[in-house]
Amino acid sequence: MKQICIVVICMLWVFCIKAEQNVYGSCVLFDGEQHKEGKGFALPRGISKYEVSGIKPFEGEKHLFFDLRFEQGWTGCGWNWASWDYLSKKIVDIKNFKTLELYISVSPCSINDITFQLTSKNISGEPDFFGRKVSIFPMIKKRDKYTHISIPIDKLEGFSLDSEKVWGFNIGVFAGKSSSAGNCRIYIDNIELIP
């Protein structure tokens, strides 16, 4: 009888561990189909633009498209999957995830670096809180083709980011101080947090 109780307890223990591991599945932030709501921006305002477009998706119907114009060697863009709504249920706690993964395609353009940075809500009405910037430019294998990017969450945390209230990302594109004109097109699809 004692052996049966030990076996049952061991089986329950293994079952509980497995159940706990499956509580946190992946979290899709954008896929162009079921998860395409949100708001974006492109800088400098007035000359750069963004849209949820069907021109060149990685898969599915839509992707994020940023048509960026350089000003003094820099341009940038971002996406907020909660649409900057402080009460949104789409705000994510990233502490139980290991990586953020996405597919990105960058048009051939003269650039030195591309950085990726998470943002979290700031209910005081001030600008968003920001995580650390991670250079993703070395990860992009071919221009004008989608590349799978995987960024460890611990590389994105820090600075002023509130890991329990993440709601968007920023991308910075740098062409160097000598390049003050031109444009760069960025396509992003299938953004997902992986446990």
The answer to whether 192 and 104 have CB atoms below 8 angstroms apart is no
pLDDT for position 116: 97
pLDDT for position 179: 52
pLDDT for position 174: 92
Number of neighbouring beta carbons within 10 Å of residue 58? 19
Q: How far apart are CA 57 and CA 125, in angstroms?
A: 34
Any idea which fold 25-194 has? Jelly Rolls (2.60.120)
Q: How far apart are CA 129 and CA 156, in angstroms?
A: 12
In order along its 195 residues, the chain shows pLDDT tens digits of: 555 545 444 444 333 333 333 356 999 999 998 899 999 999 998 889 989 988 767 877 789 999 999 888 889 999 999 999 988 999 999 999 999 999 999 998 888 899 999 999 887 767 789 999 999 999 998 888 999 999 999 999 988 999 999 999 999 999 876 555 578 999 999 999 999
The answer to whether 59 and 189 have CB atoms below 8 angstroms apart is yes
pLDDT for position 20: 35
Q: In which residue are the tokens 């079921």 written?
A: 34
pLDDT for position 111: 87
Q: Is the pTM of this model over 0.75?
A: yes
